[in-house]
Amino acid sequence: MVENTRPISWIKPARRDFENFPEGAQLDIRRALTMVAEGGHPTIAKPLHDLGSGVLELALRFRGDAFRVVYAVQLGAEVWVIHAFQKKAKTGIKTPRAEIDLIRERLKRLKEMLR
């Protein structure tokens, strides 16, 4: 463990959804989150520009499926996991609008809670 590793905190529904991912996908995403907590930037991470700075998405292809985990790095000392979902839409790489709306709502509630 790196000396300045940040804690990783989960919004409960995100944790529940993540636990439904296949074991191998969970392992890959845990590795990426650990890298984030240690100050790194995994190759599967990309910013979600619609949601402000510091909100990123881990985009994992695993056995032909697409899994996403959205996290925030600018909400206190922790890395907050806000949302986890399996992307089912076949209409390109863009995160579906319903998912963005849910992430936006969870971010808003989390910011209020952390005040």
Is the Cα dihedral 13, 11, 109, 88 positive or negative?
negative
Sheet (strand 55-62) strand order: 8-10, 78-87, 65-75, 55-62, 45-47
CATH of domain 8-114: 3.30.2310
Domain boundaries, the chain: 8-114
* pLDDT tens digits, one per residue of 84-107: 999 876 566 677 888 899 999 999
The pTM for the full model equals 0.92
DSSP 27: H
Q: What is the pLDDT of residues 53-71, one digit of tens each?
A: 899 999 999 999 999 999 9
